[in-house]
């Protein structure tokens, strides 16, 4: 291949979106990935037993199919074989006493179901998701748009004019509300509170975090609008479609190619990258890095003179809670003791709002949660092709795991003195989770075929950008989001080097499979 | 009877508004349901005769340095206002016998930081320099109505003086959590813990966004200006305000509970008292009370704006507080050193993690296993509050549930504060004992106020919340008490809201009362 226009370092969803779009814009793109495969957090593999295909990390593509990136790429990706599988019941909750609630993709039906839990909760739900819909242009511009841009400035000015300053202030005040405040003040039923509280964890927040109520409402809206789709055949099929599309536009993908540094050219710009084997790749137009700030500034750009203060900003960049994944191959479909849960895509097992708060806080303090919030995915219910006929797969994600373990909140699991995740701690913790799960399923032991656990340390070993097992590319609190992601000095996806760009979950609009930063950068480079 | 302005509630913001309006020639009447004026500023002999305890608020440093004081300080001094200054402001002792503290002496504080980490000594010096640059702009922000036209020139001045990066940086500080700010500023966990404790005073656990500002400002302002207690008791300030108000022709009605705010043609025109008496206000009715009370009760039938009523009633209180007042033979003999006996405040809050746990226990309705204890030593600063040679302690137990659902330590059973408060106070004093062995034997008397007792004393201390509502970002700045209503106005013409529930929030700084009075009398 002749020298590419752009070299893209990393191959997560943002890198793939960016590569595909740049390719379609006529640019020659070379994507380099240090692992033996592309995909970042998207990876599907037979990790338990033959014939069982598991999404090892990310599995739900609701943010992708609702994204501008997908809108632009859907036809091409479909041509290369990408299909999604759906269920009518994207989410639900199951409490320790067996009470449960399930939501469908029909707003009115969800309102009625919530009213069954407590009169008035249904109307509140309609008001909440209706509010997201009403505010959608402003909301999605801020959550997903280029912040330092004329269109955003213009939109804000228009909204201020249309609503009046008092109403705009009201919008922002409401947007900053923590989920606990919202749920306690507006929902009577503890089951309804338990339904939404765990979802804030999937945005890297906790129930007491500023703007967590807004994120939960956006998720409620998205689940109703688009469900909780998974890729037919496993996440690998999406990667295959992207790879085919990139190749079709003249791009190239190189795996097993570890970029060790960005090469300085004349005039303070980058001229390409150097790989671990010493070879150099020249980039005619620029280098795009889909990595954490730590990787970018402390490794790839270490030979560049950095502006004053940048080193401090890199050092002060914070990573969030770790993630723990647990996978089961089952001989038969799970028979839940509570009715109506068979088709739920993502079911949360939690004692409720206080339970989420407690577990999240324990993980933040470095403790293994006593009663973790468990997100159970049932891919077989959406996509039977993932496992042998009649069998089942469970995908468990625990969004509250300490990066570095200081102790066990239950006082039962012995923790290594160095605080690192060991195999023994991982399996003991998986046992704790399994006991909670088995409590809700008839004869779980007899249908269990195999399990496989991934601690935060295992996740980081698989993907260097998951620091301490944080799947969100860095702490998602307000002071490290929006204008300040990753740094207070950040302007869109530029860096201090004119032709080096930064995308990925560590940059605005953050984590999730929406491909937002890759999309925005490709637009900006048109 | 006719007034220009009626003030409902005699908290210090209500009194400040009354004084300033009266000084501009307005005829003002203040109506207070209790038998004593002052709201959360009360001094009383609740343990033994001769021991004068500040029941709730104690530190008057904000008031001493306030714009209101600059405008009216001379007259208030004439009416008896006097402060006892504290040069050794706050400290935290640790289990290993070490401590960190902040005094009104930068070099001393730097030397203390040096004992933990040379890098932190440097960080303290840098932070002090930064405060010198930030202070004029941040205090101007806190001293301006929110929002106001003054903010534009203010922002422009800051921009000119400090640049755009400073503005973005400061905005980030305003939304940062205490942990984020402290982690990037200091290495020593002890220095971080000493500062982070101030976050809990405004409902900011270490991980709550928006909590960084207060620990930073408190530490740096104390280093620059020290703290101030009221001479003889915090009520010296209330006595001076009421006495000066009377001299200006203002009237204070005690034991006079306002039942209703009266309206005519949609405008607030006066009040009806519980005993049936009615009073008219021709220019303004100023409610120095919680928005929940004003919109839920005093405005019979609502304000006419259902959406705003709903928001005001949903105004979220902060967590509860317990007060334990102790009369004693001597100050605690701190294991960490006798120097700690000179400090106005000590926090028994040894780590960010423990503060974080306490907060989440309280939110879930649990009595914290090891609560955060604020130990005030007023007699270290002002010996006149107790008989010769005797002392008092002002213990504030922070972040408690208003309604008990359980005990984080599984020892105290039952959910009734009246039945549990003494047992919980025992737990608190046992914690104190671990830092100062032998203190229990010095106790002469104690009086315990549970969160519910606080509310009984003053209905604005809802569930024992002494902040006038949580200061989380969704309820602060432009959004205090509700988005769009941060300039003291309400949907009812002629009716205004002041007090801790309004910008700039809690603390004895007379900010809202003074700002509203200036706006009204302009």
How does pLDDT run across A463-497, given as a tens digit for each residue? 999 999 999 999 999 989 988 899 988 889 999 99
Q: How far is B67 from chain A (nearest CA, A)?
A: 27
Instruction: Give the residue-averaged pLDDT of A265-282.
Output: 95
* pLDDT at A150 (0 to 100): 83
CB contact under 8 A, B210 and A477: no
Residue B44 near chain A (CB below 8 Å): no
Report the pLDDT value the prediction gives residue A169, as an integer from 0 to 100: 82
Q: For residue A210, give the nearest of B172, B364, B474 by CB distance.
A: B474
pLDDT for A199 equals: 97
| Chain B residues with CB-CB distance to A209 below 8 A | 207-209
A169 to chain B: which residues are within 8 Å by CB?
147, 478-479, 483-484, 486
- For residue A250, pLDDT over 80 is answered with yes
The residue length of chain A stands at 526
Distance CA A15, CA A245 (A): 13
Number of C-beta neighbours around residue B440 at 10 A: 14
Residue A44 has pLDDT above 80, yes or no: yes
Q: Are A139 and A130 in contact (CB under 8 A)?
A: no
Return the residue matching tokens 């990706």. A77
* Interface contact B205-A318, CB threshold 8 A: no
Stretch B310-321: mean pLDDT: 94
On average, the pLDDT of chain B sits at: 95
Cα(B365)–Cα(B485) distance, integer angstroms: 31
CA B281, distance to chain mean position in Å, is 30
Span A437-453, mean pLDDT?
A: 98
Q: What is the mean pLDDT of residues B395-420?
A: 96
**195-224 in chain B: CB under 8 A from chain A:** 205, 207-210, 212
Residue of A nearest to B204 (CA): A208
- A173, A312, A366 ranked by CB distance to B479: nearest: A173
Pairing of strands A322-330, A448-454: antiparallel
C-alpha closest to that of B3 among B394, B339, B382, B271 = B271
A365 vs B contacts (CB less than 8 Å)? 353, 356-357
CB spacing of B360 vs A181 below 8 angstroms? no
Distance (Å) from the C-alpha of residue B485 to the closest C-alpha of chain A? Answer: 8
Query: B100 — phi, psi (to 5°)?
Result: -130, 145
Is the pLDDT reported for residue A446 higher than 70?
A: yes
pLDDT score recorded for residue B368: 98
Distances from the Cα of A410 to the Cα of A357, A368, A457, B367, angstroms: 16, 8, 21, 18
Q: Do B496 and B293 meet the contact criterion of CB atoms below 8 Å apart? A: no
- CA B379 to chain A, closest CA, distance in angstroms equals 37
Q: With H, G, I as helix, E, B as strand and everything else as coil, classify residue B422.
A: helix
pLDDT grade for B265, boundaries at 50, 70 and 90: very high
Strand-pairing partners, residue A8, are: A31, A288
B169 in A contact zone (CB under 8 Å)? yes
Mean pLDDT of B387-416: 96
Q: Which of A165, A357, A489 comes nearest B363 by C-beta? A: A357
Whole-Å CA distances, B478 to A208, A488, B68: 20, 22, 22
Q: Give the strand pairing for A286-290 and A6-9.
A: parallel
State yes or no: pLDDT of A80 exceeds 90: yes
Interface test mutation site (partner A, options B177, B205, B410, max chain A beta carbons within 10 A)? B177
Task: Indicate whether A214 and A267 sit together in one domain.
Answer: no
Indicate if the pLDDT at residue B1 is higher than 80: no
Which helix or strand (DSSP H or E) is residue B19 part of? helix B12-23
CA distances from A289 to A262, A273, A487, B178, B469 (A): 10, 11, 16, 31, 45
Residue A147 belongs to a domain: yes
Query: Which chain A residues have a beta carbon less than 8 Å from that of B180?
Result: 318, 475, 477, 479-480
Average predicted confidence (pLDDT) for chain A: 95
pLDDT of residue B276: 97
Q: Are strands A29-32 and A6-9 parallel, antiparallel or unpaired?
A: parallel
Which of chain B's residues have a Cβ under 8 Å away from the Cβ of A475? 180
Cα–Cα dist A272/A283, whole Å: 5
Q: Tell me the CATH number at A32.
A: 3.50.50.60
For residues B289 and B502, the answer to whether their CB atoms sit within 8 Å is no
C-beta atoms of A181 and B353 within 8 A: no
**Contact check, Cβ <8 Å, A318/B183:** yes
Answer whether A483 sits within 8 Å of B357, measured CB to CB: no
| Domain annotation covers residue A338 | no
Mean pLDDT of the A97-123 span:
97
pLDDT in tens, B170-182: 888 889 999 999 9
Q: Which residue of A has its CA nearest to B185?
A: A316
Task: State what percent of residues in chain B have pLDDT above 70.
Answer: 100
Residue A174 lies in a domain: yes
B128 vs chain A: nearest CA distance in angstroms?
A: 18
Q: Give per-residue pLDDT as tens, A128-168.
A: 999 999 998 888 888 888 888 888 888 888 888 888 877 88
Which chain B residues contact residue A318 at CB under 8 A?
180, 183
What pLDDT is recorded for position B146? 78
The answer as to whether A232 is a domain residue is no
Q: How many CB pairs under 8 A join A and B?
A: 113
Q: How many CB atoms lie within 10 A of CB A181?
A: 21
Give the pLDDT confidence score for residue A265 in this predicted structure.
92
B136-152 pLDDT tens trace: 888 888 888 877 777 77
DSSP states of A220-275 as a string?
HHHHHHH---EETT-HHHHHHHHHHHHHHTT-EEE-S--EEEEEE-GGG-EEEEEE
Q: Do A357 and B364 touch (CB under 8 A)?
A: yes
CATH code for the part of the protein at B2-40+65-82+233-316+471-521: 3.50.50.60
Residues of chain A with pLDDT > 70: what percent?
Answer: 100
Using only C-alpha atoms, chain B has a radius of gyration, in whole angstroms, of 22
Do residues A219 and A291 share a domain?
no
Please give the residue range of the domain that contains residue A273: 6-38+255-317+473-524
- Residue B91, H or E segment: strand B88-93
Adjacent-strand bridge partners of A376: A347, A396
Residue range A361-394, pLDDT digits in tens: 999 999 999 999 999 999 999 999 999 999 999 9
Report how many domains make up chain A: 2
Contacts of A28 (CB under 8 A, 6+ apart): A1, A2, A3, A4, A5, A6, A250, A251
**Among all chains, which residue has been given the structure tokens 């006991």?**
A435
């Amino acid at each position: 291949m002749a020298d590419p226009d752009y070299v893209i370092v990393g191959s997560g969803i943002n890198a793939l979106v960016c590569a595909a779009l740049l390719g379609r814009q006529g640019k020659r793109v070379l994507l380099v990935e240090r692992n033996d495969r592309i995909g970042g957090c998207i990876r599907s593999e037979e990790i338990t037993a033959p014939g069982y295909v598991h999404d090892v990390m990310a599995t739900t593509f609701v943010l992708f199919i609702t994204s501008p990136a997908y809108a632009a790429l859907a036809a091409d990706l479909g041509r290369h074989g990408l299909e999604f599988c759906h269920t009518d019941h994207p989410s639900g909750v199951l409490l320790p006493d067996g009470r449960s609630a399930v939501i469908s993709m029909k707003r009115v039906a969800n309102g009625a179901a919530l009213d069954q839990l407590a009169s008035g909760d249904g109307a509140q739900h309609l008001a909440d998701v209706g509010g997201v819909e009403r505010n959608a242009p402003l909301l999605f511009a801020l959550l997903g748009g280029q912040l330092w841009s004329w269109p955003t400035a213009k939109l804000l000015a228009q909204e201020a004019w249309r609503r009046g300053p008092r109403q705009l202030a009201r919008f922002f005040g409401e947007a900053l509300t923590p989920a606990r405040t919202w749920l306690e003040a507006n929902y009577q039923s503890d089951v309804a509170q338990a339904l939404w509280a765990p979802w804030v964890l999937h945005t890297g927040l906790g129930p007491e975090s500023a703007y967590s109520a807004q994120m939960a409402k956006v998720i409620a809206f998205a689940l109703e609008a688009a469900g909780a789709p998974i890729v037919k055949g496993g996440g690998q099929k999406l990667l295959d479609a992207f790879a085919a599309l990139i190749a079709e536009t003249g791009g190239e993908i190189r795996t097993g190619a570890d970029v060790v540094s960005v090469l300085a050219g004349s005039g303070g710009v980058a001229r390409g990258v150097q790989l671990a084997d010493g070879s150099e790749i020249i980039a005619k137009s620029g280098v795009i890095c889909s990595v954490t700030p730590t990787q970018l500034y402390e490794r790839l750009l270490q030979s560049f003179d950095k502006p004053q203060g940048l080193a401090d900003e890199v050092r002060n960049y914070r990573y969030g809670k770790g993630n723990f994944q647990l996978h089961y191959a089952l001989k038969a479909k799970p028979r839940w003791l509570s009715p109506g849960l068979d088709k739920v895509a993502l079911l949360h097992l939690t004692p409720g709002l206080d339970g989420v708060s407690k577990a999240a806080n324990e993980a933040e303090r470095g403790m293994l949660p006593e009663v973790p919030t468990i997100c159970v995915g049932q891919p077989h219910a959406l996509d039977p092709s993932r496992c042998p006929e009649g069998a089942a797969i469970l995908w468990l994600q625990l969004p509250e795991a300490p990066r570095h373990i200081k102790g066990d909140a239950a006082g039962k699991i012995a923790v290594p003195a160095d605080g690192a995740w060991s195999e023994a701690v991982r399996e003991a913790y998986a046992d704790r989770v399994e006991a909670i799960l088995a409590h809700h399923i008839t004869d779980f032991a007899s249908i269990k075929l195999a399990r496989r656990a991934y601690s935060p340390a295992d996740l980081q070993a698989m993907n260097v950008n998951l620091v301490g097992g944080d799947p969100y590319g860095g702490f998602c609190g307000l002071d490290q989001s929006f204008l300040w992601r990753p740094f207070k000095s950040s302007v869109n996806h530029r860096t201090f080097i004119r032709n080096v760009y930064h995308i990925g979950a560590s940059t605005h609009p953050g984590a999730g499979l929406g491909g937002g930063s890759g999309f925005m950068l490709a637009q900006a480079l048109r | 009877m006719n007034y220009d302005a009626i003030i409902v509630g005699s908290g210090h913001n209500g009194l400040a508004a009354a004084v300033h309006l009266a000084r501009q020639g307005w005829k003002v009447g203040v109506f207070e349901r209790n038998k004593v004026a002052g709201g959360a500023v009360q001094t009383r002999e609740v343990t033994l005769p001769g021991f004068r305890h500040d029941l709730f608020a104690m530190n008057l440093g904000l008031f001493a340095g306030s714009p209101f004081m600059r405008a009216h300080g001379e007259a208030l001094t004439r009416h008896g206002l006097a402060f006892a200054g504290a040069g050794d402001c706050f400290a935290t002792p640790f289990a290993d016998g070490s401590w960190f503290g902040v005094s009104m002496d930068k070099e001393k504080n730097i030397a203390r930081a040096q004992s933990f980490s040379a890098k932190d000594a440097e960080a303290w010096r840098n932070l002090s320099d930064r405060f010198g640059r930030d202070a004029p702009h941040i205090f101007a922000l806190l001293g301006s109505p929110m929002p106001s036209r003054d903010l534009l020139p203010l922002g422009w001045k800051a921009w000119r003086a400090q640049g755009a990066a400073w503005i973005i940086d400061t905005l980030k500080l305003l939304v940062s959590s205490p942990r984020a700010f402290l982690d990037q500023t200091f290495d020593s966990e002890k220095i971080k813990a000493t500062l982070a404790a101030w976050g809990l005073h405004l409902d900011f656990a270490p991980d709550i966004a928006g909590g960084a500002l207060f620990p930073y400002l408190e530490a740096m302002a104390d280093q620059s200006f020290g703290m101030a207690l009221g001479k003889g008791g915090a009520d010296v300030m209330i006595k001076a305000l009421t006495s000066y108000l009377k001299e200006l022709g203002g009237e204070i009605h005690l034991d006079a509970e306002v039942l209703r705010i009266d309206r005519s043609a949609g405008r607030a025109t006066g009040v009806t008292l519980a005993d049936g008496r009615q009073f008219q206000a021709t220019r303004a009715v100023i409610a120095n009370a919680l928005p929940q009370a004003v919109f839920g009760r005093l405005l019979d039938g609502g304000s006419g704006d259902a959406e705003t009523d709903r928001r005001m009633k949903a105004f979220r209180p902060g967590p509860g507080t317990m007060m334990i007042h102790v009369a004693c033979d001597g100050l605690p003999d701190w294991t960490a050193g006798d120097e700690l006996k000179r400090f106005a405040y000590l926090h028994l809050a040894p780590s960010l993690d423990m503060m974080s746990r306490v907060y989440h226990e309280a939110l879930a309705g649990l009595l914290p296993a090891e609560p955060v204890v604020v130990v005030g030593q007023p007699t270290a600063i002002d010996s006149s509050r107790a008989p010769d040679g005797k002392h008092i302690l002002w213990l504030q137990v922070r972040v408690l549930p208003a309604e008990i659902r359980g005990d984080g330590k599984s020892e105290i059973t039952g959910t009734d504060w009246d039945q549990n408060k003494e047992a919980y106070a025992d737990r608190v004093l046992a914690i104190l004992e671990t830092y100062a062995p032998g203190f229990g034997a010095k106790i002469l008397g104690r009086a315990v106020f549970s969160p519910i007792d606080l509310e009984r004393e003053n209905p604005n201390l809802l569930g024992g919340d002494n902040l006038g509502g949580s200061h989380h970002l969704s309820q602060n700045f432009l959004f205090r008490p509700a988005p769009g209503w941060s300039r003291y106005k309400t949907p009812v013409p002629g009716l205004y809201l002041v007090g801790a529930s309004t910008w700039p929030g809690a603390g004895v700084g007379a900010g809202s009362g003074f700002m509203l009075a200036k706006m009204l009398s302009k």
